[in-house]
Structure 1
Amino acid sequence: MNVGAIIKMAIPMAIRKVVGEMEFITALKHNQMEILMEILNGNDCFAILPTGYGKSLPYQMFLPVKRALNPENHDTVLVCCPLISLMEDQVRRVQQFGVTAALRGTDQDANEAIDDGTISVIFASPEALAEEWVRQIKDVSLIVVDECHTISMGGLDVDEEKAFRKYFRYIGTLRSIFPDATVLALSATCTLKMKTQIMSNLNLSGKARVIETSPNRANIKYVVKRTPIAIEETFFWLIDKLCELKKDFPRILIYCNSIKDVCQLFNYVVTETNLMDQNVVEMYHSETPQEKKEHIVQNLGLDSQMKVVIATTALGLGVDVKNCHGVILFGPPKDVVDLLQESGRCGRNDEPSVCVIFCNRYQLNHISKEVKEVIGSVECRRRCLLKNFTSEEVVSDPAHMCCDLCVSHCNCGSCTPHPIEVLVGTFSAKAEDALVSSDSDTISYEYESDVSFDGGFE
């Protein structure tokens, strides 16, 4: 038996040793073990797993396991991620394993430690990785690209000067700088088109292992509700119920497509409810002070009295929201990735939840064709959304928990609305009451141009 075969046999024993030494790990999930085994064996891997699955744990364990096999191991792991706050959290998690870790660019001491070669797991943004210091790193055996769908969203299909965070497109050059390193790409939300783009951009080998599960969150119901343009007319129910229930109000997230809408809605709610100083309603966007951001994220992870958070997509990747069973989108997101990401912030405990998409005639003018198809669907919104991410057939049972369109086809005999639907007033078991109907208020969807509306709006 050769040395390589002996090492492969020893890997599972080393993994069990590391897990046994860490009190915060009880066991590895099947896909976590698969990812860890692939990268330990030097194989490229592309993992597409749901939010909250624990995709980061395999690379956090990578060096501890290698050192359990060889205490003299001095390998380095390079981690690229688009969000500073997420990387700061991951630094702390890696340090729990007794491994040195640091984030490049935010602290001079950390930068000097990285330059001195005393840091084993180096975190950096795409912009930081474009700098010369990267070429000085020694013994890089693993390159991790976390939230890798942002590579595609970062502007692969547009001119460089117009691209959002154009350095995303250069992450693949790390492969030429460290040709012997294994690459691990991680994402929770990746369309079929994105998958092809990302594998090409990262120069993943033809034998790269793709590990994925269905992105379908069967416990989340999708509902579309036509609304007036005025925020006050759209959210009057929120004012009434907050005043009535106060701290007994169920926790919900409200996503808006602009900071302006966030601020306008927040000011309306706190003014009408007089809840400004009670920590019940908060807003979160890119310009929110860092201390306030940390306060909101911390409280969302607890059973706190914070009940309503009005936010842009800045409240997104890596945020764990506890006991939230309702998400409201004030205007559909621009693309299906954001739609799936934002709706997936609720129901993290697998309990029945609902995503309500409010839309008026102006909000549908600048969204992708795929999102327009979901909004304008006449059959099933879930299937229409998920066809962008998987070729698997999606079946929901009972049908009344699938989407507002499937309600009329449900024959379970016990159709009941979700409590969030009752609050919002969206539940209907009749096909003629759905958003797309045959009455004079029907919305006409033009997929190749702007969306036009007939009646029903002021």
Structure 2
Amino acid sequence: MPLTAREILKKYFGYDNFRPGQEEIIQHIIAGNDTLVLMPTGGGKSICYQVPALMLDGTCIVISPLISLMKDQVDTLKGNGIAAAYLNSSQEYPEQQEILESCYKGKIALLYVSPEKLISELSMITQMARPSMFAIDEAHCISEWGHDFRPEYIQLGLLRERFGHIPFVALTATADKVTRKDIIRQLSLKKPTTFISSFNRPNLSLEVRTGTPPGQKLLEVIQFVRKHKNQSGIIYCSSRNKCEDVTTALKNAGISATFYHAGMSASARARVQEDFINDNTQVVCATIAFGMGIDKSNVRWVIHFNLPKNMESYYQEIGRAGRDGLPAETVLYYSYADLTILSKFASESTQSEMNLEKLARMQHYAEADICRRKILLNYFSENLQENCGNCDVCQYPRQHFDGTVLVQKALSAIARTGEKESAGMIIDILRGSVRSEITEAGYDKLKTHGAGSGISGVDWQRYLMQMLHLGILEMAYDENFALKITHYGREILFGRQKAALTILPPLKAREKKTDSQAREVFYYEDELFENLRQTRKKFSAEEDVPAYIIFSDATLQEMARFKPVTEREMLEITGVGEHKFDKYGAVFIRTIDSFLKKRRINQHRALK
């Protein structure tokens, strides 16, 4: 008798219950309906097509954009006892033929294929694999409105016309309303139902650090990584050079780090990714080229060294942290310089209006003085009623002051220079600089020269960003980023309006209030957890697969907390299915039993 969806979930994945929305999506697909699934990174999208693939006759063809992502997912499925394979350019022809023959014989439940490979060899692949369904992963890649558009995805719309009798499911972690509509249109989905799961990842803390000087930023990052000893993390940088510079600084500080960007050879990038996945490298400094291929569950933190260009990219990148559901930290550094550079790129792009608007939303998030998670979720059309309590704004509520005089000083300097200077020049005038550019222009004679000398240059940058955000100023990107005074700004300048500014939070890194609370919730025995990690590491080395494919950190922590020593107890641990118990269970039980015996001996000795 065929297994039910819940029986498959327990047998192969080791979970007793589906996450919200998963079971409904699975039943919808099994009924033969087209489906669009939006779930956050780490939210369980894969289960939504992997379970139906084990219930339907034939092979589920999964269209995936990256070779590394295919390999990772296939290794994970095989680790769970599920027959899966992939086809891509890394394989020789005989190996590909052998895989297709296995599909024809009904031995492969899921076949991962790149869009280029599928379209170029469509007839042969579908004749041999006899598809039961199509799953289009990272579906936002098909839309020009998406943040990671890929032209090769466009041809996938032909599939729906050719295979009208089987269900299609499109899945993505990041798509606004416009992108969702475009995915449906481009793929020619038939009356699809759209399932949108909550984008809330409460285990991720959100912090933004504004106006931190470059040198101090590097010192803070080094201190942060040292505080998170032996914890995997990613640092996203805006350029290849910046990736390499940050990596050098970390290495000089004795930290295991490397860089990853598009300027490297494919083999070098693959090597970096393998080392990171296998915990041989603690930190990767990367451009946005590093992301979709990472299915590593125990990334404990993500730092954005520079401002991302849109909310979709930011959300997807912070989503690399805490996929196991355990607490994880995210830090975003925000500076006027980043905003200037990104504004220039956006204004010169082919879709300048859209890209500038997306950047403005990113700026709104970075400058927020209300709960950041509310802004983040609102971007994806989700409302959070209560403050999250796990972002820097919630933990350190913003206070305001009457900044009218301060604002008037800045506006006066801007007006007296003819509204043709950028922020750097205005700050120098306010600070009373006498560098040659100031004196040659006669700005040292202005009434406002030195009027703001009591405020540091860094804090002036932060105040100017507030003024931009409040609509007091605007930036003329096509005039070398000159600052212009808005109508509202003129009302303040001439005393007809007042300006409330946020009291600047200190630049130094602050301890999270929730650190101790998080450890209480996820309490486990450190020594036993480390013993279990070493046991997992041996299996990982023997099988040449990433450690988290054996068991995730979350599963090991649950073992360390509940200490299962029987088959029944071990099968109750989340993430331990029948296949994994048969393969690893006895050894992990011996590790736990050995730990408990050692503790009893030590306790007995202590009593003597």
2:234 aligned partner, one-letter code:
L
Aligned partner (choices 115, 118, 126) of residue 137 of structure 1: 126
Counterpart of 1:248 in structure 2 is 229
- Residues 40 and 246 of structure 1, relative CA distance in 2, 3 Å threshold: closer
Counterpart of 2:51 in structure 1 is 61
- Residues 358 and 235 of structure 1, relative CA distance in 2, 3 Å threshold: farther
Deviation at 1:316, TM superposition (A): 1.3
C-alpha distance in 1 between matches for 2:227 and 2:326: 25
Matches within 5 A, 1:34-73: 34-66=24-56, 73=57
Aligned partner (choices 64, 68, 74) of residue 85 of structure 1: 68
With structure 2 as the length reference, what TM-score do the two structures score? Answer: 0.57
C-alpha distance in 2 between matches for 1:191 and 1:435: 34
SS at match of 1:408: coil
2:238 aligned partner, one-letter code:
N
Instruction: Provide Cα deviations, 1:247-276, integer angstroms capped at 9, x if missing partner.
Output: 737654210122221112212332x42x2x
Deviation at 1:350, TM superposition (A): 4.5
C-alpha distance in 2 between matches for 1:120 and 1:391: 35
Deviation at 1:140, TM superposition (A): 2.1
Larger Rg: 2
1:293 aligned partner, one-letter code:
Q
- Residues 373 and 103 of structure 1, relative CA distance in 2, 3 Å threshold: same
Query: How many pairs align?
Result: 394
Q: Is contact 2:309-2:358 (8 Å) kept?
A: no
Structure 1 vs Structure 2: percent identity of aligned residues?
25
SS at match of 2:21: helix
Matches within 5 A, 1:53-452: 53-66=43-56, 73=57, 75-95=58-78, 96-107=80-91, 108-113=93-98, 116=101, 118=104, 119-134=108-123, 137-138=126-127, 139-152=130-143, 155=144, 165-206=150-191, 208-218=192-202, 219-228=204-213, 231-239=214-222, 245=226, 248=229, 252-270=233-251, 272-273=252-253, 275=254, 280-286=256-262, 287=264, 288-299=268-279, 306-317=281-292, 319-321=294-296, 324-348=299-323, 349-351=325-327, 353-361=329-337, 362-365=340-343, 366-367=345-346, 368=355, 369-376=357-364, 377-380=367-370, 381-393=372-384, 395-398=386-389, 401-404=390-393, 407-409=396-398, 439=463, 444=468, 446=474, 449=477, 452=481
Instruction: Provide Cα deviations, 1:80-127, integer angstroms capped at 9, x if missing partner.
Output: 011111111222344444435332433123421355453553221122
2:278 aligned partner, one-letter code:
Q
Q: Structure 1 unaligned segments of length 5 or more: list them.
A: 1-9, 67-72, 411-433
Greater Cα shift, 189-198 or 288-297: 288-297
Higher helix share: 2
Deviation at 1:290, TM superposition (A): 1.7
- Residues 25 and 225 of structure 1, relative CA distance in 2, 3 Å threshold: same
With structure 1 as the length reference, what TM-score do the two structures score? Answer: 0.73
SS at match of 2:321: coil
- Residues 395 and 350 of structure 1, relative CA distance in 2, 3 Å threshold: farther
- Residues 32 and 373 of structure 1, relative CA distance in 2, 3 Å threshold: closer
2:218 aligned partner, one-letter code:
F
2:12 aligned partner, one-letter code:
M
C-alpha distance in 1 between matches for 2:8 and 2:298: 31
Deviation at 1:142, TM superposition (A): 0.3
- Residues 264 and 28 of structure 1, relative CA distance in 2, 3 Å threshold: same
Deviation at 1:234, TM superposition (A): 3.1
